Amino acid sequence: MASALYYASFLSLRAVVSTLLAHGSEVKAQGGRYGNALQAASVRGREKVVQMLLNAGAEVNAHG
């Protein structure tokens, strides 16, 4: 099951991503078609969201 952070990242909802991260959403959570929020943002070319997730501790080499 994908998280709210996953969907916000996939849709490039930067304000929502920022709010979720500020309130403790698990940036490394697994789930969804692409495996995690970082991969979901990456597949859509959402560079600003990718940077936000990396700054929050997302793992570049995570497997989904």
Q: What domains, with CATH codes, occur in the chain?
A: 4-55 (1.25.40)
pLDDT for 54 equals: 96
Size of the chain in residues: 64
Q: What is the DSSP letter of 30?
A: B
For residue 4, give Cα distances in angstroms to 9, 43, 56: 8, 17, 16
pLDDT for 39 equals: 94
pLDDT for 64 equals: 57
pLDDT for 52 equals: 97
**Under-50 pLDDT residues of the chain:** none
Give 55's Cβ-side CA count (13 Å radius).
Answer: 10
* Neighbour tally for 15: CB within 10 Å: 8
pLDDT for 1 equals: 81
Tokens of 24: 């403790």
pLDDT for 63 equals: 67
